[in-house]
Each structure stands twice: as C-alpha cells, then as structure tokens.
Structure 1
Amino acid sequence: MAFREKLAWALLATTAGGYAIYCYLLAGVTGRNGWDGPVWSIVPPLIGMGVLMALLATIGAGGAAISAPRDATAPPDERDRLVARTAQAHAYWVLTSGIGVTVALMLAGISLFQITNLLVSILVIAEIVRYASEAWHYRRGWHG
C-alpha cells in the first residue's frame, strides 16, 4: 500500500472516529438542553473533536510516513493529483448540497443550534467522502 493510500485510510478513520465522538458528546448536550439549546454549548464537543482528530491524524500520518519514508517525501505524481481532484469533486457535491439543504431549513425556521450542528456535520461528512473516495481510487486503481 502506497503512502498516500495509507494516509487517506488514516485520515478517513480519524475523521469518522472524531465525528463519532462529537456525536456522542453532542448527545449529552442535547440530553441536557434539547435541540434548541444555546449555541455555545457545542463548543466543548467541537474542541474535543478538533483536538482528538489533530492528535490521531498526526499519529496516522507519522505511521504512514515511517512505513514509506521515500514515498512520504516524494512530490505527488499525475495519478495522485487525479485521485485528489476526483475526491475533492465528490466532496464538493456533498458540501454544496448540504449547504443548500441548510439554507432551506433556515428558511423553514430551525434554530441556530440546529443550523450550527448541521453545518458541522455537512463539513465533516464531505471530508469523509473525500478521504473515502481517495482510498477507493487508490485501492481500485485510477481509471479516469
């Protein structure tokens, strides 16, 4: 497995795991405050998710780099650029669609707490799609 594929898998696992922990912490917040709680109440879960994801991503990237030091320092080749561009395009559709849904729900009158959590979720899901797409194209081979 090449360095960039290992990195995609590590970042996919990190992002999904961090988001799962965020959802767990958010369930505690909504259990106390409901879905119309104060927006500031999501700050601790967001900080927790960010710190955990940064730590795990650093460990994952370090492990991938240690296992393939020559690949880690090599510039991306044409295949790497095509895989990254395709993955970003997939994530872009998720992101723009999610923002459109959020705007529609804002017009329907959902709370600021719900809007904030929806936007965080859309951003994280778009990143999960990006990393999953990268891992998929590296694993299956680029046929574009």
Structure 2
Amino acid sequence: MAFREKVAWSAFLTTLLIWGAYFAVVVAEVGAPAHGMKMVWLFVAATIAQAVLMGTATAIWAIRAPDEANARPDERDQAVSRRASGIAYLVLVLSVVAVIVGLHLGLHGSGTVFALIGAFILGEAARFGAQAIGYRRGAA
C-alpha cells in the first residue's frame, strides 16, 4: 500500500471513529443542561484528537517510506484527489440542503450548528473515503 493511500485510509478511519463518537454524544445529550458549552469542549477535544492521530499516523507512514512521503504528487494522485473532492462537494451540498430543509421543519438553535458541523464532517469523510477507495481501485 502506497504512502498516500495509507494516509487516506488513516484519515477516513479516524474521521469515522472520532467524529462518529462526537455526534453520538451530541445526539444523546440533546436537550441536556449546559449542552452547548459541553459540546464546544468536546468539539475542541475531537479536533485535537483528530490532529494528533493523523499527525502520528502520517509520521509513522513517512518514517517507513521517506521517499514516497517526499515525492511530489503524480497525475494519478492528482486525479484521485480531484475525483474525491468532487464527490465530497456533492455530499456537502446535499448535506447543507438537508440542513436547510431541517430548518423549515423546525430545526433551530444549537441543533443547526451541530447539523452544519455534521455536514462538513460528512463531506470530509466522503473525501477521505473516496481517496482511499480511489487509490485501492487504481482509478483515475
């Protein structure tokens, strides 16, 4: 497995695990006292956890394959990244449209903020997943 594929899989899996846990807590805590500030601190913790895990994973993969880590992206890397970004954009747009529909159906307050954060995280997960699958398939 190539360096960029390992990084893409690491990003995808850590995003699913960390942010999946975050949103599980958000959904479980809806309506609880001090919901907003607790979720802000949990958001900060999840962001830091994602950064630390991805930094560690990337460092490990780079140490194991320094030539690949320092190589410039080739046409295949650029094609995989471009395709993944297109998929992520579609997911993000559809998620934001779902939030807008939710606003018309009664979504309000901090629920709107969490829904928009969720739309962004879903788009990023789609991008990382599409990159990982793109590398696995060898798609361009």
Is this a same-fold pair by TM over 0.5? Answer: yes
Aligned equivalent of 1:51: 48
Aligned residue runs from structure 1 range 104-123, under 5 A:
104-123=101-120
Unpaired segments of 5 or more residues in structure 1? none
Aligned equivalent of 1:78: 75
Query: Alignment partner of 2:30: what SS?
Result: helix
> Which moves more between the two structures, 21-30 or 43-52?
21-30
The 8 Å contact of residues 29 and 35 in structure 2, kept in 1 or not, is answered as: no
Q: Deviations over 1:99-143 (max 9, x none)?
A: 11111221333122211111111111111111111111111112x
Structure 2 CA distance, aligned partners of 1:52 and 1:13?
13
Unpaired segments of 5 or more residues in structure 2? none
Runs of 4+ deviating beyond 6 Å: none
How many residues are aligned here? 140
Question: Kindly tell me: are residues 26 and 8 of structure 1, through their superposed partners in 2, closer, same or farther at Cα, counting changes over 3 Å?
Answer: same
Indicate whether 1:18 and 2:18 are aligned: yes
The 8 Å contact of residues 95 and 126 in structure 1, kept in 2 or not, is answered as: yes
Question: What TM-score, normalized by structure 1, do the two folds share?
Answer: 0.88
User: Quick one: which amino acid aligns to residue 141 of structure 1?
Assistant: G
What is the CA RMSD across the aligned residues, in angstroms?
Answer: 1.8
**Alpha-carbon deviation of 1:14?**
1.3
